[in-house]
């Protein structure tokens, strides 16, 4: 999924910050650390880095699978951004343009999963830049582990002898002056970060700056960090290559030592190619039902459902239901097991798709949320939201499979099939007895509540009635004052379902696909945007 391109506001750009790698050697480029990971062959010195062989070229078939036969310049441009954290929310990633949410949102989801589940007790506000850097690398590695076929193939830009400090021309009373960008900006105002940004740029360039742009260090930083280089597809694809690493520890070490690969303005693209290369072209093609459409929409730049599923589960299947379905002799592949990260979408309420149990009930209380144009992330610290199902909850879920219209009742003729599916006693005589008890007026229907009260009368719910939810949207323009922050709400599950399609509240519409009886009071009385 993606979203229409919009020019970022100055406030939104200034609201993002670089994650600085103080260990990075001055003058490093967007290519990998050549002293340790690149070369004409061999395993990189003593081989302790885990590298296998030399830097290799990426197949053109992979480009075609991702972009189609021709890449539109505007679409490609919108994908040129690095991973950058919000100035106002230390662990929240900022998305500049529409399109790459299908990479950024899953990475954000895995980052939050690590933060919530594996490092409990951390306050969102006291996270340091180093901690956020570690969380980002861990999130990337978790995604790659799911995609690995044989080895990890880390994609980066090849070294270029032309790499040198970014130069810019400014006008002074004495005439034009050529100097290294950021050299006159005080470190306290962002000069250090600006110089790091340009040291880790994608390509050298010369920028003519309006003198007024130098007045604000924050806007200068944002402008050059995001716009110092605009790559053409041919130039970018001509410069990238991959290096093979055997173990995930090698990958984590690699990104720790070459963190600029993720944060430079090609970082999102480089990670996407790393994931695709690590998965392997043949594996991706075998999991996709339709290979005629590219993974990225050639007009809107949004990612396909197969690409979203690959990011979340490691499998490039095109559907979101449970397991595979046979339709007219054609096997349509879905999600085959409970996912670490969930997925819910407003498109299900519009009946464009059916999201299965595995996605709605992940192992961790983190869900990627899909609108018709964008991906965001929902999460909670309430672990009971993902506790194992009780028998009554299993029965409720299975009952809904027989209740295709969501009306909370089924025809009484389906009772035997329902009981058989739930592995209850399903002998015809017993089923007839239960039918008479559950439908005493002989109306021909079995109510959900009557069925649950009969077979599971005293079972306690594992789901809490009230809990907190937090929501992330990485686009500054979709946040109050262009500040990317987590929005918090207090959720309550009502006694009866209130599910309906409300075009004025897509957030609630999406949440009700997971919790049909949910109501949420968002802080500040402002419902977060899904777009």
Residue 302's pLDDT is what?
A: 94
Residue 513 is given by DSSP the state T
Domain match, 447 and 467 both:
no
How large a percentage of the chain has pLDDT more than 90? Answer: 59
Residue 51's pLDDT is what?
A: 60
Residue 132 lies in a domain: no
**450: domain range?**
391-455
Residue 436 lies in a domain: yes
- Contacting residues for 198 by C-beta, under 8 A, at least 6 apart: 165, 166, 180, 181, 182, 224, 228
The values of phi and psi at residue 176, to 5°, are: -65, 140
Q: What is the number of domains present in the chain?
A: 2
Residue 124's pLDDT is what?
A: 83
Tell me which of 145 and 206 has the higher pLDDT: 145
Domain match, 478 and 442 both:
no
Residue 373's pLDDT is what?
A: 93
Last residue of a domain, one of 406, 438, 455: 455
Q: Read off the pLDDT band of 477 (50, 70, 90).
A: very high
Residue 346's pLDDT is what?
A: 95
CB 386 within 8 A of CB 365: yes
Per-residue pLDDT for 150 more than 80? yes
Residue 415 lies in a domain: yes
Domain match, 435 and 475 both:
no
Residue 10 lies in a domain: no
Residue 462's pLDDT is what?
A: 72
pLDDT in tens, 269-318: 999 999 999 999 999 999 998 888 999 999 999 999 999 999 999 999 99
Residue 514 lies in a domain: yes
Q: How far apart are CA 347 and CA 2, in angstroms?
A: 14
pLDDT in tens, 322-363: 888 888 888 899 999 999 999 999 999 888 999 998 999 999
Tell me which of 459 and 47 has the higher pLDDT: 459
Per-residue pLDDT for 228 more than 70? no
Q: Read off the pLDDT band of 15 (50, 70, 90).
A: very low
CB 334 within 8 A of CB 322: yes
Domain match, 421 and 470 both:
no
Residue 29's pLDDT is what?
A: 39
CB 373 within 8 A of CB 5: no
How large a percentage of the chain has pLDDT more than 70? Answer: 75
pLDDT in tens, 35-64: 333 333 333 333 445 566 578 888 899 999
Residue 38 lies in a domain: no
Q: Read off the pLDDT band of 497 (50, 70, 90).
A: low
Tell me which of 18 and 124 has the higher pLDDT: 124
Return the active site residues.
101, 374
Residue 230's pLDDT is what?
A: 76
Q: Report CA torsion sign: 419, 358, 335, 99.
A: positive
Closest CA to 350 of 504, 531, 509: 509
Instruction: Kindly report the CATH number assigned to the domain that includes residue 404.
Output: 1.10.238.10
Domain match, 472 and 494 both:
yes
Residue 325 lies in a domain: no
Per-residue pLDDT for 213 more than 50? no
- Contacting residues for 330 by C-beta, under 8 A, at least 6 apart: 289
Residue 476 is given by DSSP the state G
Last residue of a domain, one of 430, 455, 480: 455
Residue 52's pLDDT is what?
A: 60
CB 187 within 8 A of CB 148: no
Residue 504's pLDDT is what?
A: 84
b or e along 185-213 (b: 16 or more beta carbons within 10 Å of the residue's beta carbon)?
A: beeeebbbbbbbbbbbbbbbbebeeeeee
Domain match, 471 and 521 both:
yes
Residue 431 lies in a domain: yes
Q: How far apart are CA 334 and CA 319, in angstroms?
A: 5
Per-residue pLDDT for 224 more than 70? no
Last residue of a domain, one of 428, 455, 482: 455
Q: How far apart are CA 180 and CA 162, in angstroms?
A: 15
Residue 5's pLDDT is what?
A: 41
């Amino acid at each position: 999924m993606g979203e229409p391109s919009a020019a970022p506001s100055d406030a939104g750009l200034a609201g993002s910050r670089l994650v600085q790698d103080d260990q990075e050697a001055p003058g490093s480029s967007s290519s990998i650390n050549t002293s340790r990971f690149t070369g004409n062959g061999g395993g990189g010195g003593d081989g302790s880095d885990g590298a296998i062989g030399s830097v290799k070229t990426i197949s053109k078939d992979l480009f075609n699978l991702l972009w189609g036969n021709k890449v539109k310049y505007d679409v490609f441009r919108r994908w040129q951004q690095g991973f950058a954290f919000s100035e106002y929310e230390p662990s929240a990633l900022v998305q500049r343009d529409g399109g790459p949410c299908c990479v950024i949102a899953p990475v954000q989801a895995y980052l939050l999963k690590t933060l919530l589940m594996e490092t409990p007790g951390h306050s969102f506000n006291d996270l340091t830049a180093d901690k956020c850097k570690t969380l980002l690398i861990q999130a990337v590695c978790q995604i790659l582990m799911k995609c690995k076929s044989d080895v990890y193939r880390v994609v980066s830009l090849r070294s270029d002898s032309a790499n040198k400090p970014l130069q810019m021309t400014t006008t002074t009373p004495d005439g034009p002056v050529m100097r290294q960008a950021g050299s006159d900006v005080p470190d306290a105002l962002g000069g250090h970060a600006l110089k790091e940004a340009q040291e880790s740029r994608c390509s050298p360039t010369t920028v003519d700056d309006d003198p007024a742009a130098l007045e604000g260090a924050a806007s200068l930083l944002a402008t050059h960090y995001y716009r110092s280089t605009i790559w053409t597809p041919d130039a970018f694809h001509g410069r990238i290559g991959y290096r093979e690493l055997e173990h995930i520890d090698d990958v984590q070490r690699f990104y720790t030592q070459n963190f600029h690969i993720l944060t430079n303005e090609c970082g999102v693209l480089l990670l996407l190619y790393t994931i695709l290369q690590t998965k392997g072209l043949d594996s991706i093609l075998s999991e996709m039902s339709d290979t005629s459409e590219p993974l990225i929409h050639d007009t809107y730049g949004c990612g396909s459902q197969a690409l979203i599923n690959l990011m979340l589960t490691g499998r490039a299947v095109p559907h979101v239901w449970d397991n595979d379905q046979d339709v007219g002799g054609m096997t349509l592949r879905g999600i085959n097991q409970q996912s670490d990260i969930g997925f819910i979408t407003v498109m299900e309420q519009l009946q464009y798709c059916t999201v299965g149990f595995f996605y709605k009930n992940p192992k961790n209380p983190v869900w990627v949320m899909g609108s018709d144009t964008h991906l965001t992330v929902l999460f909670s610290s309430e672990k009971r939201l993902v506790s194992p199902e009780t028998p009554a909850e299993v029965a409720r879920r299975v009952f809904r499979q027989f209740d295709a219209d969501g009306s909370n009742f089924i025809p009484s003729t389906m009772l035997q099939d329902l009981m058989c599916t739930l592995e209850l006693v399903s002998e015809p005589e017993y089923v007839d007895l239960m039918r008479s008890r559950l439908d005493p007026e002989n109306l021909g229907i079995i109510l959900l509540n009557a069925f649950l009260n009969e077979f599971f009368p005293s079972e306690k719910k594992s789901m809490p009635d009230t809990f907190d939810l937090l929501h992330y949207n990485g686009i500054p323009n979709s946040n109050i004052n262009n500040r990317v922050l987590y929005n918090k709400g207090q959720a309550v599950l009502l006694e009866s379902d209130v599910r309906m399609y409300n075009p004025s509240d897509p957030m609630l519409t999406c949440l009700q696909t997971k919790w049909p009886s949910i109501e949420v009071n968002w802080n500040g009385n402002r419902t977060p945007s899904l777009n």
